[in-house]
Amino acid sequence: MFPFSVPFAFAHPARRAAVHNALTSQQLPACHAYAATASVDDALYRLHAHRHGLNREAVLFSREDHGRNALTAAQTAQLRRYAGRALAMPRLLGMSAASFAQRLAQTTCHAIRSSTGEKPARAGDLVVGDIVRISAGDLVPADLRLIEATDDLLADQSVLAGERSVQKKNAERVEETAPSAATCYNLIFAGTTVASGSALGVVVAVGAETLLARAACGAAPAANSARPARVAPQLV
């Protein structure tokens, strides 16, 4: 069993100082905060999502609104530098910064869409509103709001925390009015790893809007990250 949080006390102070804890230092974007504090049904409604998944037309709408789940070459270089600092203490995830960035870009997952059912999908094909199944050993492909989770779900968030950090997750709504990423137990973030258990989640953010990319690229949260209210023709 993993501890929920094991401090990296033996890391050199200078090396620890080089990596900020993104879970506490990054302001949580509005779309993340709403998804965390809303019920599952309300979060799905706001994201124009459905438990049965998006259809092809809705995927195109979402991709047009929110972009692709990918980073530019410059953003990828910044991610490598960020991960290089985080993973150096010492190689938290057992891989180099370059291999971490490559694995994140090329990872696959199980996505559920109304037109195709559940099937393997490349992380780069995911859009906001997609339903994704994750399980032990998976690298999380995007920022997800959990809608179902097993009791033993643990996420290794070391790459965001800058130190060894494994947190228990669940699908319950967060009661805080202004939650931080560190206290949103129903959010699981791109680049983290599922240490145990399994879950179903809805994609809240992709690409440069994920917490990891914001931490790596120094992006400020958008003034209004929530999707505009309109009827999307995506449901079953």
pLDDT in tens, the chain (236 residues): 433 333 333 344 444 444 578 898 888 999 999 999 999 999 999 999 999 999 999 999 999 999 999 999 999 999 988 888 877 654 555 677 888 888 888 899 999 999 889 999 999 999 999 999 999 999 999 999 999 999 999 999 988 988 888 999 999 999 988 899 999 999 999 999 999 999 999 999 999 999 999 999 875 444 334 444 443 433 32
Domains of the chain, CATH where assigned: 21-217 (2.70.150.10)
The CA distance from 74 to 6, in Å, is: 33
Q: What are phi and psi of 17, to 5 degrees?
A: -65, -25
Q: How far is CA 128 from its chain centroid?
A: 11
Sign of CA dihedral 55, 125, 187, 148: positive
The CA distance from 35 to 27, in Å, is: 15
The CA distance from 100 to 98, in Å, is: 5
pTM above 0.75, yes or no: yes
**How far is CA 191 from each of CA 100, 139, 141, rounded to the nearest angstrom?**
8, 6, 7
Residue type for position 11: A
